[in-house]
Structure formats: C-alpha cells, structure tokens
Amino acid sequence: MKKMLIPCLYLKEGGLVSGFKDHTPLPGTPAETAVQLARQGADMLFLFDLSEGDAEHEKNLSVIRDMIKLIDLPVVGAGNIKRSEDVKKLKYAGCRYVALNMAKRTNIDLLAEVSKRFGKNSIFVCADVEEEILNEAERIRQYSDGVILLNDRITDAYKELKVYPVIGNCSFETVLALLSNGCVAGVSGDYVNQNLPSLREIKAKLRQAGLPTTLFEPAFSFSELKTAADGLIPVVTQDYRTGQVLMVAYMNREAYDKTVETGIMTYFSRSRQSLWIKGETSGHFQYVRELSTDCDRDTILAKVKQIGAACHTGSYSCFFNEILKKEEPEKNPARILEDVYEVILDRKENPREGSYTNYLFEKGIDKILKKVGEEATEIVIAAKNPDKEEVRYEMADFLYHMMVLMAECGLSWEDITEELANRS
C-alpha cells in the first residue's frame, strides 16, 4: 500500500476557507487551488462542504465539479450528507469517494444503503472519537473502503481498516511514525496543507525510510534513450482512453526529468529554446498515465489524461487535416460511437429536412425519453427470446437514442467514460 499525502480543503459559499470552525476566506479560486495541488504532487483531495442550506450546497457542488474537471486526482467529498441522494450528487460532481460522518446516527444507518448502491470501494467514513469506530467497527469494515480520522490517535480499534488521519502541523518524524503503521494509508490536514511546496521532497524522505510512495520511478534514465544530435527525442502524445494521437513534441533531458518528477507532460520548445509545461498558460494540462519507448529507444510514447484541447487551434487533437482516407468501415468501437455522436450533434446544430434525428430534437425531451424507454424495453424482449441478432439490433437502436438524449442534455462521451472510469 503506497502512502499518500492528502491536502484537505473546506468549501464555504463557493470559496475556500481555512477550516471546519474557522471560516477565514483563503486566496485563489478553488479551481486554481486544485490545479496547484495537482502540480505540487498531492495524491488525493479531501473536500469538505461546509454549506448551510440547499442553495449554498448546490453552489458548492458546482464548484467541486469545476475543480475535478481540471485535475487527475481522486477526490473524497464529505459534508452535508443527509440521504442517499446527497451521495449521488457528490458522485455526479466527480468525486471518486464520498465520506459519511459517523457522528450522525442517520449516516450510520445510511452506510449500508449507499455502499450497496454505489459500491463499497467508493464509500469512506469520517470519525473523530474512538467510540464511533468501536461501536460500528464491523459495519464500517463491511460497507466502507476507508476511515478519515479527525485526529492522530491510532489504536487497535482501527485494525483491518484503511485509515487517513487528519493531523495538525507537526514534525516529519511524527508523520513517518504514523505512516509506518500498517493501517495508515495516508495523512491529511495542516501538516500537508502547510508543506505543499515540499510534498515531493517529503515523499522522497519517506521512500528513503523504506515506505512506498507515489513518486514515479522510470525504468530508463534519459541517458539510456537515443537522442538526435541536438539532444532531443520526439514524443508522440496519446489520449490514454481512446488511443487518439493528440500531438508530437520533443523532450531534452531536463524536460524528461521534469515530466517524471511532476507527472505532468513537460516538453522542450525548439522555437523558444526553453522548457514548456503543456497547459501552463491555457490550463490544458496533460497528466501522465504511461510513458514507454520504442524498440530503438529513440521515440517516446506518452499516454495522458488531456484536460481541454491539445492543439493551440482549440481542436482536441493537432491531427485534424485529413490528407487521404481509404473508405472502409471503422472498427474501433470508441471511434464509431464518437463519430455517430458527432453526426447527432451536427443535426442538432444544422437541421436537415426529413432527418429522424431532427424530428426527435423538434419534439423535445419528452419524446426522446419515450423512445429511450421503448428501446430499453425492446432489448428486454429480444433478450428473452433469445436471438443474438435481434438483441444486437435493439441495443444499437437503444445506443442511438441514448446519444440523442446525451446531446439534448449537453453530455459527451468523455463525460460518460470519465464517470465509468471513476467507478473502476
């Protein structure tokens, strides 16, 4: 189990404040802060919603959604949870995990329900006193994946639990002792928040002490790669989900080392003769998922999570000028679904007379929902026959109508696949 360093953020009225009880506003927007934390080497984020009332809660949910879209970190959402629908809203906002406060009797009763609905591995609990754990230890083990502990008192009550203590500012030795405990997966709180610029240095010290951390360890040093006479190596950058090639750039030794150190793609700009952190000015960062080299070690393939567009023109990929194309049916499932969806969007923006898609958009959401329901029923009927070809046909019909609904609701395949990825 790799040991994590986790900043803890508190949201109040759409902005960041200093803590649970002290609501002193902090500088910077939540989105800017989230990006900075990702760049500084945070492993996860704890987000506590301190809202009062539904209007402020909805505002904070919108802020959380905007934060998560800009980073590649798992986020634990907590606070203002009264029912299963509140957990769903945090999940919809992009939180990979949701934490229930064990000090509230209603949340103890709610734990089993949300665990079964959203999956045990997406539910945390939050506790402050040992009795909250001791009294419900079996239920917590059965229905949650971790405990956010609002103190640093680790006792036998936490045996067989994955614990994340939220601690005050303290010495490195105290943190090392905590993380050396087998049940402690990571630490959060003031120690992490006040040492953000040094997170990678702290991880390096933890590793030297024999604890596993999330620092990248490259299998090849830059000197083991083959560069051109100018000391550069070409990098082909690819979307890790779809395999789409996004861009081609170059790295020198410094750019390579910086990419490995930060987990954010850093290139060498030949025109400016300087390092270039992709997204530093636009916010369109590329978070590293995988780096590999070819058989000759003279080219790097980078698989990344792309935020926004890769191309300076605003296109998602730099490769959009088609030179030629052999007209054969597309076989890549992801590409097929994306192509069909793009046609549906085009019909929405540029209606065509006689188009069934435009007919659905003209009739509106109720008609689209009716068709989605009908096609779902057709799948059930076909599957009961069973006839493989009929099921295939009905599923294709359902997917088409579902994509019309996606377009009507302003959702993309990226939104859907990101949600599915959060559940894995």
Report residue 422's pLDDT band, with 50, 70 and 90 as the boundaries: low
- Give the domain CATH number at 95: 3.20.20.70
Indicate the pairing of strand 163-167 with strand 233-239: unpaired
Question: What's 352's domain CATH number?
Answer: 1.10.287.1080
What's the pLDDT score for residue 137? 80
Could you please report the per-residue DSSP string of 258-294?
HHHHHSB-EEEETTTTEEEETTTTTS--EEEEEEEE-
Spatial contact of 24 and 18, defined as CB atoms under 8 Å apart: yes
pLDDT for residue 413 is more than 90: no
Over range 34-58, report the average pLDDT.
Answer: 94
154 plus 75 within the same structural domain? yes
Write down the pLDDT at residue 330.
64
**Averaged over 147-171, what is the pLDDT?**
88
Between 412 and 212, the more confident residue is: 212
**pLDDT of 145 above 70:** yes
Given a cut of 90, is residue 64 above it in pLDDT? yes
Mean pLDDT value across the chain: 92
Q: Which residues of 200-238 are buried (b: 16+ CB within 10 A; e: fewer)?
A: bebbeebbeeeeebbbeeeeeebeebebeeeebbebebb
Q: What do you get for the CA distance between the two ends of the chain, in Å? A: 18
Q: Are residues 367 and 258 in the same domain?
A: no
Query: Over the stretch 88-99, which tens digit does the pLDDT of each residue have?
Result: 999 989 999 999
Shared domain check, 246 and 350: no
Looking at the fold, whether 272 and 144 belong to one and the same domain comes out as no
Q: Are residues 267 and 196 in the same domain?
A: no
Please check whether residues 21 and 149 belong to one and the same domain: yes
Give residues with Cβ within 8 angstroms of 222, minimum separation 6. 253, 256, 257
Alpha carbon separation from 65 to 94, 95, 242 (Å, rounded)? 6, 8, 23
- The contacts of residue 243 (CB under 8 Å, 6+ apart) are 332, 334
Indicate whether 213 belongs to any domain. no
**Domain-located, residue 141:** yes
145 contacts 120 by C-beta, under 8 angstroms:
yes
Domain count, the chain: 3
What is the number of helices (H) and of strands (E) in the chain?
15, 16
Q: Is the pLDDT of residue 185 over 80?
A: yes
| One-character DSSP codes across 343-384 | HHHHHHHS--TT-HHHHHHHH-HHHHHHHHHHHHHHHHHHHH
Predicted confidence at residue 385, as pLDDT, reads: 80
Statement to judge: residues 74 and 128 lie in one domain: yes
Residue 45 has pLDDT above 90, yes or no: yes
Residue 313 lies in a domain: no
What is the per-residue pLDDT across 71-87, written as a single tens digit (0 to 9) for each?
Answer: 999 999 999 999 999 99
Share of the chain above pLDDT 70, in %: 98
Report the alpha-carbon angle 286-206-288, nearest 5: 10
pLDDT at 295: 97
Residue 361 or residue 158, greater confidence: 361
Residues 269 and 133 in one domain: no
Could you tell me which residue, 21 or 424, shows the higher pLDDT?
21
CATH number at residue 286: 3.10.20.810
Same domain flag for 237 and 184: no
Whether 312 is covered by a domain: the verdict is: no
- What would the pLDDT profile of 282-341 be if each residue is shown by its tens digit? 999 999 999 999 999 999 999 999 999 999 999 999 999 989 887 766 667 877 888 899
- If pLDDT is split at 50, 70 and 90, which confidence band does 32 have? very high
What pLDDT, in 10s, does the model give residues 329-383? Answer: 666 787 788 889 989 999 999 999 889 999 999 999 999 999 999 999 999 999 9
Report yes or no on 201 lying in a domain: yes
Is 321 contained in some domain?
no
Position 324 in a domain:
no
Kindly indicate the confidence band of residue 418, based on its pLDDT and cuts at 50, 70 and 90.
Answer: confident
- Residues 181 and 236 placed together within one structural domain of the fold: no
The radius of gyration computed from the CA coordinates of the chain, to the nearest angstrom, equals 24
**Of 178, 208, 238, at which residue does a domain stop?**
208
User: Do 297 and 246 share a structural domain?
Assistant: yes
Co-location of 88 and 119 in the same domain: yes
Of the three residues 161, 181, 208, the one that is the final residue of a domain is 208
State the Cα–Cα distance between residues 66 and 302, nearest whole angstrom. Answer: 26
Q: What percent of the chain has pLDDT over 90?
A: 76
Q: Which domain holds residue 368?
A: 333-423
pLDDT band at 395 (very low <50, low <70, confident <90, very high): very high
Query: For residues 270 and 311, what is the distance between their CA atoms, to the nearest angstrom?
Result: 17
**Is residue 148 within 8 Å of 164, Cβ to Cβ?**
yes
Q: Give the number of C-alpha atoms closer than 13 A to the C-alpha of residue 194, restricted to the C-beta side.
A: 11
- Assessment of whether the complete model's pTM goes beyond 0.85: no
Neighbours of 253 (CB within 10 A): 16
pLDDT at residue 54 tops 80 = yes
Q: Mean per-residue pLDDT for 221-229? A: 97
Binned at pLDDT 50, 70 and 90, residue 396 comes out as very high
Q: Is residue 204 domain-resident?
A: yes
